[in-house]
Structures are given as C-alpha cells and as structure tokens.
C-alpha cells in the first residue's frame, strides 16, 4: 500500500511538472503575436466588412483570391509584376481582416460579386490559389459572362478531398473556439497547439522549398485569430462536398484558363491539377517545380499567365 501511494505521488509529480512545462511553453514559444493594423481598404457588403488591397491600373482588371487559410497579402509578390493592371486582392469573408467567421461557399460567391459591382469591376481575370481556385471556379460557373479568364494556382478541384486527420483537426479547432473553452485553452495550451500546427502546416505547404518567413508571420498574426479559425474549421468541414459539386460543372466552364500546378505539391496532388486542366474545355497546364505555394515560389509564372490571358482577346 505504501509503495502504491509513493508511485501515485511520483506520477502526480511528473504530471504536474509536465503541465507546468506546457503552460510555460504556451506563453513562450507558443505565444501568438498581436494582430497588426491592416493596410488597404474596407468596403461594406451586406452585413460583412470586407478588406481588400487595390493597385490602380488600366485594361483588364485582375482579382486575386487567396486559399484556406490566407490573406490578400499572399499576392504581394505577384501584384508588383502586374504593374499597369488594376489589381484587387481580397480577404475572403471570415479571413484576414474581413468579418464573418465561417461564411458558406455560395454566400462567398455572392459577396465577391457584390463587392466587384461596388468597385465597378467588370469581366476580371480571376486568380485563385488553392481553395481560392475552388472559389474562382464556382464564380465562373455562377457568373459565366462575368469572367474574362481564370488562373488556377494549385487549385483544390478535380476530385480533391479533405483527409480524416484534417477533418478531425477542424472539429477540434471548432470546439476550442467555443466561449469559455477558448479562453481557458488559450491560457493553458491553445497557443502552443496552434503554433505547432501552423508550423507543421507551413512546412508541408512549402515543401520541398523552405517556408517563407513573411507567410509564417502572417499565419500566426492573422490567420490564427478567433474569427479566422472559425472560418477555417467551417470551410474545411464543408470543402469536400463543395468541391464535388463544383466538379460536376467543370465541363461547362468555357472561360479561357491557365492551370498552374506544383510538381511536388503535398496538399493538392499534381494528379488533380492535370485532371483539372484536361477537364476544362479551354485550359492549358503549367507545371512548376515546388509545392503548394506557387504565389510565393513562382510569382513571375502567375503574372505571366495573367498577362497571356489579358492579351488574348
């Protein structure tokens, strides 16, 4: 009996030390940075406050739509290469500095349509990265006469599905964002969990190339905030169904398209990019070395695709 009590005391002591270590790491290595002040502009669309970054120009306007998660600043290496074009990079509803939390896919299409109308943008070239590519495809299906061209960069389409681990992670994040639970988890282990997960996610997204420091900083400063995490978890859980629905209409999208795909993409396998380019009636495929983050790794290729579509009619 005495030996059992001693074992229990030792075990409790070890658990206490581990718990203290986790809390310490939570407020040191895991501590999330404060959210910086936004650049760019805001516009009201219904009940949503939408953030966007615009550069003036003439000719065919270019609308850039980030992935899951992401911000308008994911295009900061691409837009300088499109000098002369009017470019509008959007924080999708719920992401970046835009309000909304999780906004369903169809409503996002409506918000983007209303936003472009408010900004007097007609027949733009849509440039979509990852799930932003899914959004762009959905927009072209719903508003076929409203799009001049599509540049789909590592697009989540053509049979792409969310894995079981990612779904479980999304359920956990959704749970941890509940009132009270969020405050308790952030004070004890939540920030550490988020930081470790974000670092693992970035390493996978950029592989085999190194993670871009500016992207990692933005993920921790902006994408790991409460509203962004709500948007991320909701979109992850809905995305497989959304992609399947969009895939049914791919044959009907006659918009001129460039599909850009990373050869070593670990998030959207190159087979999906190849299938997407083969399925769309007027698409050409550009394969590039690297992983999932082509707007960072090959911004010149993205800009070149835009210019090619702009010059063709």
pLDDT in tens, 189-231: 778 888 888 899 999 999 999 999 999 999 999 998 999 999 9
Q: What gap in Å lies between CA 209 and CA 120, rounded to an integer? A: 39
Q: What gap in Å lies between CA 288 and CA 301, rounded to an integer? A: 9
* Alpha-helical runs (H) found in the chain: 2-26, 105-118, 131-142, 164-176, 181-188, 190-206, 213-218, 226-247, 270-279, 294-297, 299-311
- Single pTM value for the model: 0.91
pLDDT the model gives residue 34 = 80
Reference 216, options 51, 91, 33, 28; nearest CA is 33
Q: What gap in Å lies between CA 70 and CA 197, rounded to an integer? A: 15
Q: What gap in Å lies between CA 265 and CA 278, rounded to an integer? A: 18
Reference 132, options 62, 66, 37; nearest CA is 66
pLDDT the model gives residue 47 = 94
pLDDT the model gives residue 183 = 82
Within 10 angstroms of residue 300's Cβ, the number of other Cβ atoms is 10
* Contact between residue 95 and residue 69 where contact means Cβ atoms under 8 Å apart: yes
Reference 140, options 309, 267, 303; nearest CA is 309
Residues of the chain with pLDDT under 50: none
Alpha carbon 155 to chain centroid, angstroms: 11
- Residue given tokens 């120009």 in the structure block: 57
C-alpha dihedral sign at 253, 256, 261, 267 = negative
């Amino acid at each position: 009996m005495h030996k059992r009590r001693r074992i229990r005391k030792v075990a409790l002591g070890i658990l206490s030390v581990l718990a203290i270590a986790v809390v310490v790491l939570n407020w040191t290595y895991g501590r999330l940075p404060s959210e910086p002040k936004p650049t760019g502009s805001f516009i009201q669309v219904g009940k949503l406050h939408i953030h966007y970054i615009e550069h003036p120009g003439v000719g065919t306007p270019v609308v850039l739509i980030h992935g899951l998660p992401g911000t308008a600043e994911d295009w900061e290496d691409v837009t300088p290469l499109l000098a002369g074009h009017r470019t509008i990079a959007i924080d999708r509803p719920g992401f970046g500095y835009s309000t909304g939390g999780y906004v369903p896919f169809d409503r996002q299409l409506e918000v983007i349509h209303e936003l472009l109308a408010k900004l007097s943008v007609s027949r733009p070239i849509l440039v979509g990265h990852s799930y932003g590519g899914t959004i762009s495809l959905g927009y072209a299906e719903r508003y076929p006469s409203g799009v001049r061209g599509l540049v789909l960069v590592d697009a989540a389409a053509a049979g792409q599905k969310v894995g079981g681990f990612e779904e479980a992670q999304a359920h956990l994040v959704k749970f941890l964002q509940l009132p009270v639970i969020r405050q308790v988890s952030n004070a004890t282990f939540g920030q550490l969990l988020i930081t470790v997960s974000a670092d693992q996610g970035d390493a996978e997204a950029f592989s085999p190339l190194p993670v871009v420091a500016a992207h990692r900083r933005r993920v921790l400063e902006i994408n790991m905030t409460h509203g962004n995490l709500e948007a991320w978890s909701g979109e992850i859980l809905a995305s497989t169904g959304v992609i399947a629905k969009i895939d049914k209409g791919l044959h009907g999208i006659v918009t001129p398209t460039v599909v850009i795909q990373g050869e070593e993409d670990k998030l959207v396998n190159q087979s999906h990019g190849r299938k997407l380019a083969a399925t769309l009636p007027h698409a050409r495929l550009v394969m590039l070395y690297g992983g999932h983050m082509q707007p960072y790794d090959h911004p010149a290729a993205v800009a070149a695709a835009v210019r090619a579509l702009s010059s063709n009619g």
